[in-house]
Structure 1
């Protein structure tokens, strides 16, 4: 595409896949608005979305369902993008913010902020990015820097994840039954109670971080080759690795601040996006769209398939087990990068 002296190269397959994913996300959002565990019919929900019909239906759709869906879209987009960045940076399909200890640090920061207060509500969403940044700094320092040995960061991250999980369990064990129940549900990954008060500021943060991640995808495409090739093309390896890691940490922390640690999404979205978009580009946009769609779909299933609501993290965990086996035993074409 050309506009005067400017030109943009859009690979046909990636563009078509991105358009199709956008349409699928729109359909999933529409289905999530129209269906639910209440007695409201889909036509009544559609009217309520337009602000007409029964006032109770309008309240349920516009004040409860829609803000929750927006929060799910933001959470999924952040998770998918963070997973794509970490997988491509490390050259490993299984490298996600979970394994780097980032999600554990963010979860611990949010939960510890309300431990001992007796409140069943969660702390501020911004504690997620703060805890994620602290965990990432600790991992990088313990691993001796980013360097070129990605396995060292993964090993240290696994150790930190174990420690943070133990801290979370200890903190909840010291709470009373009422507050511990609400905190436990959130620690599994849940969108319950999330509204525009959280989705608004997080959306503003993502409006800045997601374009930066797309721009970083061009540098990451070069990093998929050997370091010598990247250096010969003028890529500053340490700077690029550090910036990409910071982006991934911030995105993962935001996702935890919204919905808690939703498992498997950061791993699944980039792998599926790579299969759809092909190897021409790092699938940053495709990963964000897939992550958003998967979170909305999982949250909708959790709301409608059982009499009691199932947290979105439980749904993704149940579906993520077979997916992990498929990744481990599938062919190498599922990898998001050449080194995966």
Structure 2
């Protein structure tokens, strides 16, 4: 699922030096408020004696290009050394275009082409920002922040499944644990079982198997569900994925008609949001932000439509809507 990025531009000014031979009796210096005679410079519509347009940091006259911040002027060297924010990746001054991510990390735009992003949390992987990272055997890049919190045992996945089912029941989403199992898999296996439904941002997939048993004139239909979740990711991402996939289980158990992909995936993301909304941990808030900012027309736009229509309402209203409609 894609990270939101904010491009900030520090406006670069070129010093305009004006040489004047005219009578300057009515021109006053902005700095000393005295009448200027002879040469002067004009900055932002204000006139200065050449030696009175000074750097706010070193108090020396600015002779060339300058930067302006918060109404103050700085020469290039002072701005770079003392005023400009530092790149979180390389620690060099950010004096031009730079990016700021969800975590408040500021960095040069060109690092986007040099470094990998964590396939889990979407952080830019570097020694300074994440203490490095690793590449799993299935091709995923994982930062060491996520790797340190990664769940590595099947038993923990099973406990998470029970936890989410119990939590969702409190919201009115009833799912039986008896016909649901979870399997932690790598990306290659997730891609295989998902087949044409796979996307690079996917962390899970629900596979529903339908069995029909005929006895005399009666046909019995039994459904079983297997949820595949990416292995070696932090617990909160596992929980968010399970909440999403368990909504697919509920839909497969309770909805007879085919929902539009936008409505179905949007509803599943909404259940994930419902589970996470009272959790103020950094991981939970990042997952919610990823869903809200997702540009995908199915997952992202679907979630926003469901969210805007059903936020603040009882979950039963969404469930009843799904039973009566095919799309939003």
**TM-score by structure 1 length?**
0.29
Higher strand proportion, which one?
2
RCO comparison, higher one (Cα < 8 Å, 6+): 1
Q: TM-score scaled by structure 2?
A: 0.30
